[in-house]
């Protein structure tokens, strides 16, 4: 087994504990506190001892992005329609994009109005049956790193726009070149230098990052509707692989300590939240496997393999690689982002493959990128924008678009004991089958998209009772099981 290569001490090879089961939650449990386990076969569980699978999308309406043209909004409005539509897709989580520059625009002064907006989004998600995963997002370090319009790039290099992330006071580029040698947003020397200065804790900005996490965690300490905290989106590469891996692991460890301190200070005795951590942008290098001994962690990589490239088999390799890395970390693995943006046929085929692989490797869940894309979103604009392009885009600005080929699929939201296999139709309504084992009778909660006129059929073994109820977009199915069980729904 791959994980054995990393079992340097007996404790590292110990099976992940299955949490002691709480009272059977029944068919209408609501959102129970979540906790990750560490060890072999690590997983994410709720307080009833059921293994949880999180499925949803990235909501970036609270992101603070570089403005290419003030007439083009960078994010859409987050409103009741969004929550209703997400609920009708059977989501049980949204990855909520938040930005350091919005949390702390002035050093040491947290924006309480922004905190209230985040709190409101969490509460709206919860009211619609969804957890919120609070993500501290960045791309290319900051919206304050960009090539001015009049800047002349070196021959063959390309001017770059700003993106999102750190506030201006935490952005130190030391006058490095802002253009990119290959057009990639992460590769301008100025972006690399900003990361170097963060990793070196210049003027205490890495300490400020940890302090911010103390503040965020204090806002949601003890809140069962928060699935966890995603420490840092796609952290960038500094001067070298080794230096980046070492410095990032230290930054993560310190932030985790601050989150745990905030939870203890503001909700003593309450369950702590899972903490989601990501590898360096692109997936490699992975940070050291022993960077933290916290027992409530989730490895949360992203994949766009074969979405932006044509390397055959790369998607399968990346999904297997992340499963192997999670085994080495002894944590669950959660796919925080994925998406394809070519033809409808390509996007649907690619997304179906992601879904099948996530099920095959028993990922703890996934959230696709992105729920809505505004007309001025940096992912969706050139830079600089011509007046002609601005005028062409303006009429469509009122209708932000969602970009995902297969937005919903059947899945078990929670399964008693241990989930041992999962096979489901990867796009839309279709059959699903899963197996598991539990030490006592309890209720599985399954989402099944489809018409409210035709109730799904449930078969299997180890089943004590079944109840179904029509909900917007499909069905919620409660299957009471015991022992070794098998459930098939069509």
User: Where in the chain are the domains?
Assistant: 2-409
Residues contacting residue 60 through CB under 8 Å, at least 6 positions apart? 75, 97, 137, 370, 371, 372, 377
Residue 2 has pLDDT above 70, yes or no: no
**Mean pLDDT throughout 181-206?**
97
Q: For residue 484, give the nearest of 445, 444, 446, 439 by alpha carbon.
A: 439
Q: What pLDDT shows up at residue 23?
A: 81
Sign of the alpha-carbon dihedral angle for 199, 35, 55, 372: negative
Contact 445, 478 (CB under 8 A): yes
Across 108-172, the runs of DSSP E, i.e. the strands, are 131-137
Q: pLDDT band for 422, please (50, 70, 90 cuts).
A: very high
Residue 373 forms beta bridges with which residues? 401
Residue 8 has pLDDT above 90, yes or no: no
Q: Which letter does DSSP use for residue 89 in this model?
A: T
Burial class (CB in 10 A: 0-12, 13-18, 19+), 382: exposed
Contact 254, 206 (CB under 8 A): yes
Helices 241-266 and 189-199, axial angle in degrees (round to 10): 50
**pLDDT tens, 23-75?**
888 767 789 999 999 999 999 999 999 999 999 999 999 999 999 999 999 99
**pLDDT tens, 258-275?**
999 999 999 999 999 999
- Which residue intervals of 338-485 are DSSP H helices? 344-360, 387-393
Q: What pLDDT shows up at residue 22?
A: 79
Q: pLDDT band for 4, please (50, 70, 90 cuts).
A: very low
Helices 205-220 and 112-127, axial angle in degrees (round to 10): 40
- Average pLDDT of every residue of the chain: 94
Q: Has this prediction a pTM greater than 0.85?
A: yes
Dist CA 237 CA 186 (whole Å): 8
Tokens (6 digits) for 180: 């990119």
Q: pLDDT band for 329, please (50, 70, 90 cuts).
A: very high
Residue 254 has pLDDT above 80, yes or no: yes
**pLDDT tens, 463-475?**
999 999 999 999 9
Q: First CA to last CA across the chain, in angstroms?
A: 34
Residue 444 has pLDDT above 60, yes or no: yes
Portion of the chain with pLDDT greater than 90, in percent: 89
Question: Which backbone phi and psi does 472 adopt, to 5 degrees?
Answer: -55, 125
Q: What is the phi-psi region of residue 114: left when phi exceeds 0, alpha when psi lies from -120 to 50, beta otherwise?
A: alpha
**pLDDT tens, 113-156?**
999 999 999 999 999 999 999 999 999 999 999 999 999 999 99
**Mean pLDDT throughout 379-401?**
92
Give the CA count within 13 Å in the CB-facing half-sphere of 102: 23
Q: What pLDDT shows up at residue 423?
A: 98
**Mean pLDDT throughout 69-96?**
97
Q: Which letter does DSSP use for residue 215 in this model?
A: H
Q: In the CATH scheme, what is the code of domain 2-409?
A: 3.20.20.80
């Amino acid at each position: 087994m791959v994980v054995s290569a990393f079992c340097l001490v007996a404790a590292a090879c110990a099976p992940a504990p299955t949490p002691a089961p709480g009272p059977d939650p029944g068919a209408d449990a609501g959102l129970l506190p979540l906790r990750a386990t560490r060890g072999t076969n690590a997983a994410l569980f709720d307080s009833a001892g059921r293994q949880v699978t999180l499925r949803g999308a990235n909501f970036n309406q609270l992101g603070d992005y570089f403005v290419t043209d003030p007439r083009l909004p960078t994010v859409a409005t987050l409103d009741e329609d969004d929550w209703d539509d997400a609920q009708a897709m059977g989501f049980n989580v949204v990855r909520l994009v938040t930005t350091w520059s919005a949390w702390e625009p002035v050093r040491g002064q947290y924006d309480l109005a922004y905190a209230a907006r985040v709190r409101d989004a969490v509460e709206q998600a919860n009211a619609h049956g969804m957890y919120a995963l609070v993500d501290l997002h960045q791309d290319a370090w900051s919206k304050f790193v960009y090539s001015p319009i009049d800047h002349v790039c070196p021959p063959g290099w390309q001017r770059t726009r700003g993106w999102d992330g750190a506030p201006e006071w935490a952005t130190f580029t030391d006058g490095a070149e802002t253009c990119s040698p290959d057009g990639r947003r992460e590769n301008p020397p100025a972006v690399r230098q900003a990361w170097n200065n963060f990793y070196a804790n210049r003027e205490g900005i890495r300490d400020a990052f940890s302090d911010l996490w103390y503040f965020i965690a204090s806002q949601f300490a003890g809140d069962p509707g928060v699935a966890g905290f995603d420490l840092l989106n796609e952290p960038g590469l500094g001067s070298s692989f080794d230096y980046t891996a070492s410095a990032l692991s230290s930054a993560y460890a310190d932030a985790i300590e601050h989150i745990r301190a905030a939870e203890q200070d503001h909700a003593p005795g309450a369950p702590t939240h899972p903490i989601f951590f990501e590898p360096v942008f692109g997936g490699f290098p992975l940070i050291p496997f022993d960077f933290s001994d916290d027992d409530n962690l989730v490895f949360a990589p992203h994949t766009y393999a074969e979405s932006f490239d044509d390397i055959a088999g790369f998607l399968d390799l990346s999904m297997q690689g992340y499963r192997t890395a999670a085994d080495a970390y002894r944590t669950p693995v959660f796919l925080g982002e994925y998406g394809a943006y070519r033809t409808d046929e390509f996007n649907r085929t690619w997304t179906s493959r992601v879904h099948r692989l996530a099920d095959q490797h028993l990922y703890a869940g996934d959230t696709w990128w992105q729920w809505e894309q505004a007309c001025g979103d940096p992912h969706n604009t050139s830079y600089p924008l011509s007046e002609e392009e601005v005028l062409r885009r303006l009429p469509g600005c009122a209708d932000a678009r969602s970009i995902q080929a297969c937005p919903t699929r059947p899945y078990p939201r929670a399964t008693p004991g241990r989930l041992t296999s999962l096979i489901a139709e990867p796009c839309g309504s279709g059959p699903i089958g899963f197996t598991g084992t539990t030490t006592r009778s309890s209720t599985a909660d399954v989402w099944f998209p489809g018409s409210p006129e035709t109730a799904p059929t449930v078969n299997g073994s180890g089943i004590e009772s079944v109840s179904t109820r029509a909900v917007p977009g499909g069905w919620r199915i409660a299957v009471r099981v015991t022992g070794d069980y098998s459930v098939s729904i069509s």
